[in-house]
Amino acid sequence: MSTATATVTGIPDGLAVQFATRTRALEGGHREWTAASRTASGAGRFRHKGRDYTSYQAAFILRTGRAPVGTVRPTCEHPRCCDPAHVDDQATRQRDRAALAAVKGMEHRAWSCNHDPEQHARHRANGKRYCAQCNRAADKPSCEHGNPPCADDEVRPYPCGPRCETHQPAKTRPYFTLAP
């Protein structure tokens, strides 16, 4: 499932046939991938007219006639369902979550970071908005020592947590790096 936006406009000739020969219908309107080739996440994959597709991307294109924006995922409870009616791209999911938040009367706080909300705004399953770029940066370890924490991102892992060179544990001092 590629996160890049493709430049497909309309449905490529023969895509529906290629998709149909590699899938089969299941009970409840679901569809499963029957071909052997799969991505690491388990989605089907194939090549059509020099372009790689996942089963989810092909299903989305067949339903909407446009290229997906961001990742395409199944929206139903059936694992790895690739029925065209059961897949949505990232833009559609974000739109639906924002609509759900509006219906529930959830008000979003003002955007508090400097990242572009058009590009980085996401919604959690409960409808709350967050910044994907800030969320990624939060996963990077930083020095938590000091008051307030120095937040230096040049850290080494220690049993007591990530520490910068200034705040390394006393038992490891002095920490020297070998010259090249």
- Its pTM stands at 0.58
Contact 71, 77 (CB under 8 A): no
Distance CA 90, CA 113 (A): 22
Most confident of 33-37, 112-116, 144-148: 33-37
Question: Does residue 5 register a pLDDT over 60?
Answer: no
Strand locations in 10-100, DSSP E?
23-25, 31-33, 45-48, 51-54, 72-74, 87-89
Per-residue pLDDT tens digits for 98-114 = 788 788 877 666 677 88
Per-residue pLDDT tens digits for 156-179 = 777 777 777 777 776 665 555 555
Helix (H, G, I), strand (E, B) or coil at 122: strand
Distance CA 151, CA 160 (A): 15
pLDDT at 63 (0 to 100): 93
Q: Kindly state the tokens that stand for 153.
A: 């991102």
* Rounded alpha-carbon distances, angstroms, from residue 163 to 53, 143, 153: 44, 5, 9
